[in-house]
Amino acid sequence: MKKKIMSRAQIRAIVMLGVALACAPADAHLNATGMGPIYDGLMHFVTSPEDLVPALALALLAGLRGAPYGRRAMFMLPAAWLLGSLAGLSSAVASAGTLGAALWFLLLGGLVVADAKLSLRSLTALCALLGIFHGYLNGTGMGFSAQAIVATLGLAAAAFVMVVIVAALVVQLRAHWARIAVRVGGSWIAASGVLMLGWSIRGS
Amino acid sequence: MTPTPKHRSIFVITMITALWAQSALGHILQREAYGFVTGFLHPISGADHVLAMVAVGLWGAQLGAPAIWVLPVAFPLVMAMGGMLGFLGMPLPGVEYGIAASAIVLGAAVAFELRPSLVIAALVVGCFAIFHGHAHGTELPAGQSALLYSMGFVVATGGLHAIGIGIGTAHRRPWGRRLLRVAGTVVAAGGAFFMWKALA
């Protein structure tokens, strides 16, 4: 009896079919991989001026002081934000959010206006306090869950990217007018803080 | 059933009505996002505000450093104090007169190239800023985010100062000095018009 030999094309077809059937799900959508909440955290940071603006002010301040300050803020703020938000996940809802944020606007905006000559330690302390305060408030709003833990990574990542970009842009400014423009920006932040303070007093 | 002309008319009217529908905006929080835009448009949409803000920039440019940046820094900070009074519902008498007077005085300062000390200039600008801030603060529309509204009008105010400073850089040229004095006169005249309107 003559053996039936498969042609090369048939063999290829079988191999391709096998490969096609054996492939794992692509997990193209972040919901399937569990990475979706990262973007929730990122977007929360980007779309919440109460969080974004104080971090922006800190990045401006670090940039005005120079590269070592920028490098310190770049790692310290996101780390503190992450710690704060993880701590906040299992805590009760805090109520001093608006007032606290207003005070941060005032403090950091004022420091930028004054082009305050802070020591590296002082800036580190500011980063830690700001990150822990705002991170904690973010955490209390999310509640404890696996997704919330992933979202805290998104928050920290957003803070990191923002500080890196803004501080790097300001560090390389040499023109006098450009540094003045940054300080004027600080006055806008402080002014918004005064208004926010009024609003929080009215609310309470 | 064969469609009759009456059916067609009903269909056309229904389609037009359906396509014409606007957003319901049933959830008031949706209006929060407008806060920044509303705040940003507030100083720009009032010519009295525009004249005074631009005049601050013009005067700062005329006075030179450090007034060129001290005045635009002092103005929003003190304006925010006025805005806070407005948010808190504290009345400030004669707000419209104060705003009109700011355009008259600042315009005159530019027209006559007044050169007071930095402290006096900052005090003059700061006093008038309270009236502008109060007007912004009392006119926050219901349901909008106060923070975004505040940020909007602070940024718009700063932008108008920047325009004034930009125009004021013409001061370095001989023809520019004359131009600035004319601009100051126009601002003061505009202020006088708004004062007349407020008094009428």
Q: Which residues of B touch A52 (CB under 8 A)?
A: none
**Is B184 a member of any domain?**
yes
Range of the domain at B134: 35-199
Give the nearest chain A residue to B136 (CA atoms).
A195
**Is A24 a member of any domain?**
no
**Is B23 a member of any domain?**
no
What is residue A32's predicted lDDT score, i.e. its pLDDT? 58
**Is B21 a member of any domain?**
no
Regions of chain B where pLDDT drops below 70: 1-2, 22-33, 142-143
Total residue length of chain A: 204
**Is A78 a member of any domain?**
yes
**A190–B84 C-beta distance less than 8 A:** no
Are the C-beta atoms of B42 and B153 separated by less than 8 Å? yes
What is residue A143's predicted lDDT score, i.e. its pLDDT? 76
What is residue A117's predicted lDDT score, i.e. its pLDDT? 92
Of A53, A190, A194, which has the smallest distance from its Cβ to B84's Cβ? Answer: A194
Structural domain count, chain A: 1
Q: Which residues of A touch B84 (CB under 8 A)?
A: 194-195, 197-198
Q: Is the pTM of this model over 0.90?
A: no
**Is B39 a member of any domain?**
yes
Structural domain count, chain B: 1
What does the alpha-carbon distance between residue B197 and residue B193 come to, in Å, rounded to a whole number?
6
Are the C-beta atoms of A78 and A160 separated by less than 8 Å? yes
Q: List the one residue out of B49, B67, B59 whose CA is nearest residue B133.
A: B49
**Is B1 a member of any domain?**
no
Range of the domain at A144: 32-203
**A198–B88 C-beta distance less than 8 A:** yes
Residue type at A200? S
Chain A interface includes B165 (CB < 8 A): no
Token pair 């601050």 is found at: B56
**Is B27 a member of any domain?**
no
What does the alpha-carbon distance between residue B136 and residue B151 come to, in Å, rounded to a whole number?
11
What is residue A112's predicted lDDT score, i.e. its pLDDT? 94
Residue B109 vs residues B55, B121, B133, B170: alpha-carbon distances, Å? 9, 10, 21, 17
Of A53, A188, A198, which has the smallest distance from its Cβ to B158's Cβ? Answer: A188
| pLDDT tens by residue, chain A, 204 residues | 556 677 888 888 989 988 888 887 766 666 655 667 888 888 888 888 889 999 999 999 999 999 999 999 999 999 999 999 998 887 776 666 678 888 999 999 999 999 999 999 999 999 999 999 999 988 887 877 888 888 899 999 999 999 999 999 999 988 888 888 899 999 999 999 988 888 888 776
pLDDT digits (tens, 9 = 90+) for B110-159: 999 888 888 998 899 888 899 888 888 887 776 677 788 888 888 998 89
Angle between helical axes of B35-45 and B47-63 (0-180°, round to 10): 70
The pair of three-digit structure tokens given for residue A172, joined into one six-digit string: 């390389």
What does the alpha-carbon distance between residue B121 and residue B62 come to, in Å, rounded to a whole number?
12
**B146–A195 C-beta distance less than 8 A:** yes
What 3-state DSSP class applies to A1? coil
**Is A122 a member of any domain?**
yes
Chain B interface includes A52 (CB < 8 A): no
Give the nearest chain B residue to A102 (CA atoms).
B147
**Is A128 a member of any domain?**
yes
**Is A25 a member of any domain?**
no
Say whether the peptide bond before residue B66 is cis (omega within 30 degrees of 0).
Answer: yes
Give the ipTM of the model, two decimals please: 0.74
Min Cα separation B102/chain A (Å): 20
**Is B174 a member of any domain?**
yes
Q: How remote is the C-alpha of A158 from its chain's centroid?
A: 2
